[in-house]
């Protein structure tokens, strides 16, 4: 099944034939195999796992984005931000979570609270991706 997976700064796969893709979405985590029913979903912060035809699965942290599954079984993952999990620095992720939680606790407006909550959710997902 052809996979295109990109962020604004990097293309990870460009119509590469893969066996399976697992994605986190706001409607639940799900796996995509060839001949999956066409669908469109919003990606939530978490790990996208790509299973190549041969070799080991590759994991990517994504902050948000969309996933399109087409009638021809092609899949497009368009991420707001994405990075291979093996490039993440565990200490930086934990420090970012602590800073985000502090910002949430000290937020003085609804807007600041909402922005800090998003930052907390993303950093919690980053830390979880490293487990």
What is 88-129's CATH number, 1.10.3470, 1.10.390, 1.10.10, 1.20.5?
1.20.5
Phi, psi of 108 (to 5 degrees): -110, 0
Query: pLDDT of 48-105, one tens digit each?
Result: 999 999 999 999 999 999 999 999 999 999 999 999 999 988 898 899 999 999 999 9
Q: Where are the beta strands (DSSP E) in 1-130?
A: 2-6, 11-23, 30-32, 39-43, 46-52, 58-62, 65-69, 75-79, 82-84
Q: For the segment 29-40, what is each residue's pLDDT rounded down to a tens digit?
A: 999 999 999 999
Q: Is this structure's pTM higher than 0.85? A: no
The DSSP code for 35 is T
Q: If one looks up domain 2-85 in CATH, what number appears?
A: 2.60.15.10
- Domain-wise residue ranges, the chain: 2-85, 88-129
Cα gap 73→65, rounded to integer Å: 19
Q: Which residues have a Cβ under 8 Å from the Cβ of 90 and sit 6 or more positions away? A: 127, 130
């Amino acid at each position: 099944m052809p996979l295109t997976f990109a962020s604004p700064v990097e293309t990870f796969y460009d119509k590469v034939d893969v066996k399976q893709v697992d994605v986190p979405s706001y409607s639940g985590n799900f796996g995509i195999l060839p001949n999956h029913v066409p669908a469109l979903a919003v990606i939530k912060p978490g790990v996208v796992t790509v299973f190549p035809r041969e070799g080991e699965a590759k994991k990517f942290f994504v902050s948000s984005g969309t996933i399109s599954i087409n009638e021809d079984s092609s899949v497009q993952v368009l991420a707001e931000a994405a990075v291979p999990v093996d490039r993440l620095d565990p200490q930086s992720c934990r420090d970012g979570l602590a800073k985000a939680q502090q910002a949430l606790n000290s937020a003085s407006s609804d807007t600041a609270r909402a922005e800090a909550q998003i930052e907390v959710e993303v950093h919690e997902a980053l830390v979880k991706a490293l487990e």
